[in-house]
Structure 1
Amino acid sequence: MEEINLNRGWKLHDSPLCWEKEKLAEVKLYQDGWLTCDIPADVRMPLIEKGIIKDPVVADHCLESEWVEKRAWWFLKEFDLPDLSGKTIELVMEALDTKSDIFINGQYAGSHRSVHYPFVCPAGHMLREGKNEIAVRVTTGLEEVTDEQLSQINWAVCREDDNGGKYRSDYRRAFVRRPQYTVGWDWGPRVVTCGIVGDVYLQCSEKAVIRNVEIRNRLQGEKAFLTVTAEVESLPMISTQSCDLQVSVSYEAQVCAVSVLKNQLLTSGTNYFCVDLEIDHPMLWWPNGYGEQPLYRIAVDMVLDHDIKEHREITYGIRSLRLDTSPLEGENRKFQFYVNDVPVFCRGGDWIPNDSIYARVTDRKIEKLLEEAVNANFNMLRIWGGGLYEREYFYQLCDQKGILIWQDFMFACATYPDHLEWFRAEAAKELEYQTRRLGSHACMALFCGSNENHWLFNPQDNPQWQVDFTREKPLGLYIANVLAKKIIHANCPDIPYWNSSPYGGKLPNDDSCGDVHRWHNGFMSKDMEERIEPVLYDEVRSRFVSEYGCVGPCCVESIQEYMGTDEYERTGRAWEMHCNVFEKDSVYAGIRKHYLDDPEKLEMEEYVLYGGMFQALVLGYSLEAIRARMDCYGALFWMYNDTWGETGWTIVDYYLRRKISYYAVKRALAPVKLIMRCDKGELVVWGLNDSNTCAEAEGELGYVSFDGSIRKLRTVVFKLPAASRQCVLREKLPVEDYRKGSIMFLASGGVEDSVCLRMDDMRNLEFEKSQIEIVQTKQIGRCTHVTLTSRGYIHGAYVKGNYSCSDNYFDILPGESREILVENPNGEELRFGQVR
């Protein structure tokens, strides 16, 4: 099979929205106003490049380009072709956003109405040797949705007053298979995308083509049994033909298994060839922290007429995976993932599209975000259901890095019209394509039917949604409850499926079963004290927390970029738009509770420092609390990455700069960790070991005053078995002055961090600033290795300047030595600060 790439050298023009596909000839008569672009391209990309509009992620410029969605957009591409006679040719457009009409040499080739699966059509009869032309008319698709249609779903789509504010949201999105977030969300602006947002190419085949390769494995003893199914389409419509087929498995150029099928009969159309392979002592794939991620290469080679060859190659991680939902005490059930029969606690965050104009996201940006996730000790990302199925490269990187994927299907926060046959058909094509595409990735841990669609019908949590569903009008539940299950059972039955997120129990968002989104008793509580109090997360009783969060600011450099100026105040429309809709002065309240009065009067640098420390405190403490629940099996916070810059949920901002909270999350998710809590007058120490090897936590434990003058310590050694969570100590808390000191564990080996028991809000503790002492500095390659200590307690020690560090904004306990690595290729002199 040969591919002819058509990504480069397109022209773009707009027209009135009423100009339908019949107006192609009139559009081509335009002499002026044509823009040039390469594909993938959202229409805003060339508009920004030519200075016609400003970048919508900066300041409040998104408001100035809303006119884009009220036009029709025409893409034209001219290209030359050699003689392709005798070949079957298909035009493939991997992603069109959203309502599209496609023409080849002036002939209508078809229409498409979903961004979530590709447009593919036979093209050979419309193409010719020499000059050719492809034209595509694209609109947002929103213009077709009527009030009558919206009434069919009772207008049950998240409204501007509860999910986005004045400039965001659009009821019509539920009828359009587009990225739902592009109409605006609490964390992003209304930038309704439109364009050819995936690769475009001609696929040329002779006689037969390998359409798909599906791989399943079974582990038994010291062997792995692989079943490889090749789907082969024989192109002659009325003739049989013969082929030889070879399937091989190799690792690092060494062949592990081969199977050859000689002289196989191909009948017209689809053929399936199933091959069983056996691998002795397989190298198993593990999530990040539990082991390595070896990837085998599985090659399928087909030979027809002794010289026509087809080749497909897939990288594949051998592992078993299952989701355990077995009963616990009472009505409770587990919700625990096992990889290679080892229990895995899922640590990580929720992933959204990386830009309001997602077509311009580079592979390098995806690489950097996944590198940072691994560095922060993630082993799972949940792909949120209001965005996109990510490109193939994303899942390949997750295979390589050991990041498990919880994959929502792209339905979010709305009822959907799946009582309509055309909508069901669109959903079926989407799920069919995506499950076949993703089913053989080692990283795939779960397919999930939607984000919060079942939860909408929970009257306890969402009394404002007065919507009833029936079997005749299931309002989206048919897709999640029936259709998705049938498709997964057919395409990838080894991957677990869950109906929605949250889901489980008598009503969705029930602690007893499945996963929960902890919002109304967390940061979205109407009670400000609940929004800013991390100790409340010690009360979590859920089986799996898949969404919750806390907002905080970006660094000053990022704020200057998204505000578009270095002269601004924390007021005005642009500033308000770049503050999360649910922020509601919570950052100020958090600073006031934990640090100091009058946060509104802080200079920007101080606001960023104290606001960032507040977010870090809540996320770090809450992740520890959830991990310490022995009957909870996952902690995913909202959210990991950003679609534009704002005071918001993330720990890595839109510009790929780490927020202060990044380091707190990294420490909280360390695979081997001790967590201390006070429970009814007792000191409780939890030992966590999310790895496949045994560990020891050795050090001194006891009361230490913040000035270091009182030290009542004893030597302890805690044994931490592989893949375990357990209470390693419970004893009466000694009577001491906990305003002037605390119970501390000073680590001497086994675990990276020392631990200090949090007994009160930070601002209520009585200690003076101590001096940070530099014990040693060494420059090794691009990194400066610095060892720090202090005689007294230091809260929030940090490296001044925009450096990437192994740790930052950390506490130093009295007499403790801390070594950090600072990315500092020029060996600049480092300066240190402290929060308090």
Structure 2
Amino acid sequence: TALAVQTRTLDATRADLEITVEIESAAVGSAAVQIEVLDPEGTRVARIDRKPMFKAGDNRIAVPVALQKPRRWWPAGQGEQARYTVRATLAPETAKATHIEQRTGLRTVELRREVDRNGGQGFAFVINGVPIFAKGANVIPFDMFPARVDAARIRRELTAARDANMNMLRNWGGGYYEDDVFFDIADELGLLVWQDFMFGGGMQPGYDPAFRANVVHEARDNVRRLRHHPSVVLWCGNNEEETAWKDWGHGRDLTAADPAFAAKVWQGYVDLFGNDLRQVVADEGLGVPYWSSSPSNDLDEKANDSTRGDKHYWQVWGNPALPVTAYLHETPRFMSEYGLQAWPVLRTLDGIIPAAEQQVDSATVRAHQKFMAGEGNQRLLKYIEEEYGTPRDFPTFVYLSQVMQADGIQLAALHHRASRPYTMGSLYWQLNDVWPGASWSSIDYAGRWKALHFHAKRFFADHAVAALRDDGVTRVSLLNDRQQGLQATWRLRVLDLDGTQRSEQRHTVALPPLSALEVGRFADADLLKGADPARTVAVLELFDGATLLSQQVVYFVPAKALALSPATIDAELRADGNGNGNGYVLTLRSPKLVRALWIDFDGVDAALDDNALDLVPGETVTIRLRSEADLDTLRDALRFTSLADTKAR
């Protein structure tokens, strides 16, 4: 017995649903069938009774149901995550009653691919008629041993994604299909899910009918299992198989060796991913769109094109290892992969690497670095040294790896967001870790946030300022992902590192709904007016009335060239006073600019709601945190690291 709920039409006033009950009967007969729909509070809002005749074998009963003033399911940041319960009871005349129940959300989904005047084609998810800019990350398996992954761990990682203002996760095709609990939690949190079928990087024998039939059976089982989840908004055939064939040389090399077999392999690919899986999703997916591969133009010529389809961009970090500023020159329709590595939080590393082995090139450290056959630290050092200088020791190396990762991904993500509506998605690689080592994740294996995840909370905020400096010019855009417009104020100040203000300008602006609005371009010379670029910064801010929504500091020289003084931070830590026994409030203030401040508690676990930030001179920052430790222990353990404190040789 199975149950499917398809949304035929949906708006704020009415939902027209088709509820289908699938029944396998051993014999001809009749049965009473009752279908109930309960609203999010559990109140029954519809009931339908039928008494059909059944044939021996498979039977389907499709019942139309209309709901007035439905409560729609929305992605995070756009509205509530309302979910209805649909129950079906089958009571045969000669057997016990059978009950089946599903919890689902009412939403429509469209993958909008409008052709533009330059011959490109958009790639935007439209939920309930609203184009959504997808903000998020790729998800890999949570552990090398899936049996160790429980619901609490999945909730921890997905809640962290939501807390960082993400609204989409891509389940990567190189892993395995997640359990139902993953999707239950995604439904609850409003996280859209791009779901790959589990194929990645290679080619399958799609020319073999038996193999294809086996794949179709597995795919159909998973689509039917997950189709009631409103979070699932795309089924994608595979990860990187089309681009591997077309761009990595797989197709070229096989064609050179055996042209006939290469043609057979490619036709099998088209049959499997272009036809078979597409048909499975059309038959079973309840209207969720299908995409043949990622990256792809859905089997159009180029597989990894910035003007059409989705894009994986690895020229930064991967070969040829371009500088992070290259992100500003890559403007895709939807960026579904890009990333930079960093090491886990030091407290996590202390649990796996003995103190004596904590050296950049030690055997143990190399064993936990899998990129480039263990040589990935050389790639990390390249990126660190370009911007921040040479780390003086292992803790500095770890700290600067995280600063580099956070700064670089922030640059890319804000560029993507500022390019709306041409670009409509930014999913960095990756959210989580499968084991404790150097990786592209923003959350380490122990669940601790790297600097990137704190940055993501800021650069993925629904209201944000994007100040993107390239070739001596800073382009300022204001971002609004809400369906409501905003009367806002933005401010630009130029400050010395000691807080002396050199200039200020303030402007009011009407931010349209669902928009990125460029408000100015500023040449370095116009901002600096002769000031020393190593001792001067620009501060961009967005306000709603007196409330600061977003702040970004712009630097005119590489971090290693800044004339930073050792950080002097006035810090106060107190209980939060709200009766929350493990809640604390930390207030910070510095007379001089503090670049890339990292706060930790020297071996004591504490969860902070903000970290990895720049302190603007003279301004107070308030951070809330939770810890099982008492106040005195936390005060004694409080430690700060900033760029000035780790100034490289």
Same fold (TM over 0.5): yes
Instruction: Give the match for residue 260 of structure 1.
Output: 49
- 1:337 is displaced (CA, Å) by 0.8
- 1:418 is displaced (CA, Å) by 1.3
Q: Distance in 2 between matches of 1:357 and 1:257?
A: 44
1:719/1:729 Cα in 2 relative to 1: closer, same or farther (>3 Å)?
A: farther
Identity %: 25
Instruction: Give the match for residue 785 of structure 1.
Output: 585
Asked if the contact 1:419–1:475 (Cα under 8 Å) also holds between the matched residues in 2, the reply is yes
Q: 89, 93, 96: which one pairs with 1:308?
A: 96
- 1:382 is displaced (CA, Å) by 0.5
1:407/1:805 Cα in 2 relative to 1: closer, same or farther (>3 Å)?
A: same
In structure 2, runs of 5+ residues without a counterpart are 256-261, 645-649
Q: 228, 247, 260: which one pairs with 2:36?
A: 247
Instruction: Give the match for residue 151 of structure 1.
Output: none
Q: Distance in 2 between matches of 1:593 and 1:812?
A: 23
- 1:700 is displaced (CA, Å) by 3.2
* 1:791-806 map, 5 Å: 791-801=591-601, 802-806=605-609
1:832 matched to 2:640 = yes
Instruction: Give the match for residue 489 of structure 1.
Output: 282
1:764 matched to 2:561 = yes
Q: Distance in 2 between matches of 1:452 and 1:652?
A: 24
Q: Distance in 1 between matches of 2:613 and 2:107?
A: 37
Asked if the contact 2:6–2:286 (Cα under 8 Å) also holds between the matched residues in 1, the reply is no
Q: Distance in 2 between matches of 1:572 and 1:784?
A: 38
Larger displacement relative to structure 2 (403-412 or 486-495): 486-495
Asked if the contact 1:248–1:259 (Cα under 8 Å) also holds between the matched residues in 2, the reply is no
SS of the counterpart of 1:585? helix
Post-superposition CA distance 1:470-499 (Å, at most 9, x none): 257635332111101111111125111111
* 1:718-733 map, 5 Å: 718-730=509-521
Post-superposition CA distance 1:149-194 (Å, at most 9, x none): xxxxxxxxxxxxxxxxxxxxxxxxxxxxxxxxxxxxxxxxxxxxxx
* 1:439-450 map, 5 Å: 439-450=227-238
1:585 matched to 2:585 = no
* 1:472-551 map, 5 Å: 474-504=267-297, 506-519=301-314, 521-527=315-321, 530=322, 533-551=323-341
1:473/1:628 Cα in 2 relative to 1: closer, same or farther (>3 Å)?
A: closer
Asked if the contact 2:165–2:460 (Cα under 8 Å) also holds between the matched residues in 1, the reply is yes
1:222/1:358 Cα in 2 relative to 1: closer, same or farther (>3 Å)?
A: same
SS of the counterpart of 2:576? strand
* 1:53-72 map, 5 Å: none
Instruction: Give the match for residue 76 of structure 1.
Output: none
Q: Distance in 1 between matches of 2:350 and 2:472?
A: 47
Q: Distance in 1 between matches of 2:584 and 2:127?
A: 37
- Give the letter for the 1:223 counterpart: R
1:616/1:244 Cα in 2 relative to 1: closer, same or farther (>3 Å)?
A: closer
Q: Distance in 1 between matches of 2:63 and 2:378?
A: 61
- 1:661 is displaced (CA, Å) by 2.1
Structure with greater proportional helix content: 2
- Give the letter for the 2:294 counterpart: S
* 1:416-495 map, 5 Å: 416-459=204-247, 461-462=248-249, 466-468=253-255, 469-470=262-263, 474-495=267-288
Instruction: Give the match for residue 809 of structure 1.
Output: 612
Instruction: Give the match for residue 403 of structure 1.
Output: 191
Asked if the contact 1:696–1:750 (Cα under 8 Å) also holds between the matched residues in 2, the reply is no
1:584/1:798 Cα in 2 relative to 1: closer, same or farther (>3 Å)?
A: closer
- Give the letter for the 1:507 counterpart: K
Q: 537, 548, 558: which one pairs with 1:742?
A: 537
* 1:89-108 map, 5 Å: none
Post-superposition CA distance 1:796-817 (Å, at most 9, x none): 2232224221110100112322
1:684 matched to 2:495 = no
> What is the RMSD of the two structures over their aligned residues, measured on CA atoms?
2.2
- Give the letter for the 2:499 counterpart: G
Instruction: Give the match for residue 258 of structure 2.
Output: none
Asked if the contact 2:245–2:251 (Cα under 8 Å) also holds between the matched residues in 1, the reply is no
* 1:35-184 map, 5 Å: none
Instruction: Give the match for residue 230 of structure 1.
Output: 21
Q: 92, 103, 115: which one pairs with 1:327?
A: 115
Asked if the contact 1:620–1:667 (Cα under 8 Å) also holds between the matched residues in 2, the reply is no
- 1:775 is displaced (CA, Å) by 6.5
Q: Distance in 1 between matches of 2:148 and 2:122?
A: 41
Q: Distance in 2 between matches of 1:220 and 1:742?
A: 48
TM (normalized to structure 2)? Answer: 0.90
Q: 395, 407, 410: which one pairs with 1:620?
A: 410
1:752 matched to 2:549 = yes
Instruction: Give the match for residue 259 of structure 2.
Output: none
Asked if the contact 1:697–1:750 (Cα under 8 Å) also holds between the matched residues in 2, the reply is no
1:758/1:343 Cα in 2 relative to 1: closer, same or farther (>3 Å)?
A: farther
In structure 1, runs of 5+ residues without a counterpart are 1-209
- Give the letter for the 1:797 counterpart: L
1:672 matched to 2:463 = yes
Q: Distance in 1 between matches of 2:327 and 2:136?
A: 17
- Give the letter for the 1:804 counterpart: A
1:462/1:771 Cα in 2 relative to 1: closer, same or farther (>3 Å)?
A: farther
Asked if the contact 1:247–1:298 (Cα under 8 Å) also holds between the matched residues in 2, the reply is yes
- 1:362 is displaced (CA, Å) by 1.2
- Give the letter for the 1:525 counterpart: N
Asked if the contact 1:609–1:835 (Cα under 8 Å) also holds between the matched residues in 2, the reply is no
SS of the counterpart of 2:534? coil
Instruction: Give the match for residue 191 of structure 1.
Output: none
Post-superposition CA distance 1:692-724 (Å, at most 9, x none): 333354353232122112331123333323322
- 1:770 is displaced (CA, Å) by 4.1
- 1:660 is displaced (CA, Å) by 2.3
- 1:679 is displaced (CA, Å) by 5.7
Instruction: Give the match for residue 704 of structure 1.
Output: 495
Asked if the contact 1:248–1:257 (Cα under 8 Å) also holds between the matched residues in 2, the reply is yes
1:831/1:823 Cα in 2 relative to 1: closer, same or farther (>3 Å)?
A: same
TM (normalized to structure 1)? Answer: 0.70
1:448/1:688 Cα in 2 relative to 1: closer, same or farther (>3 Å)?
A: same
1:790/1:697 Cα in 2 relative to 1: closer, same or farther (>3 Å)?
A: farther
Asked if the contact 1:212–1:231 (Cα under 8 Å) also holds between the matched residues in 2, the reply is yes
Post-superposition CA distance 1:48-90 (Å, at most 9, x none): xxxxxxxxxxxxxxxxxxxxxxxxxxxxxxxxxxxxxxxxxxx
Post-superposition CA distance 1:333-369 (Å, at most 9, x none): 1101111111111011111111111122111111111
1:211/1:735 Cα in 2 relative to 1: closer, same or farther (>3 Å)?
A: closer
1:662/1:221 Cα in 2 relative to 1: closer, same or farther (>3 Å)?
A: closer
SS of the counterpart of 1:667? helix
Q: Distance in 2 between matches of 1:678 and 1:251?
A: 47
Q: 616, 621, 631: which one pairs with 1:818?
A: 621
SS of the counterpart of 1:489? helix
- 1:769 is displaced (CA, Å) by 3.1
1:464/1:796 Cα in 2 relative to 1: closer, same or farther (>3 Å)?
A: farther
Aligned length: 614
Post-superposition CA distance 1:88-108 (Å, at most 9, x none): xxxxxxxxxxxxxxxxxxxxx
SS of the counterpart of 1:688? strand
Q: Distance in 2 between matches of 1:625 and 1:760?
A: 19
Post-superposition CA distance 1:281-336 (Å, at most 9, x none): 11111111222211111111122228721111111111111111011131211101
1:493/1:328 Cα in 2 relative to 1: closer, same or farther (>3 Å)?
A: farther
- Give the letter for the 2:271 counterpart: Y
Q: Distance in 2 between matches of 1:269 and 1:573?
A: 62
Q: Distance in 2 between matches of 1:425 and 1:380?
A: 31
Q: Distance in 2 between matches of 1:775 and 1:644?
A: 36
- 1:277 is displaced (CA, Å) by 1.1
Q: 552, 562, 568: which one pairs with 2:352?
A: 562
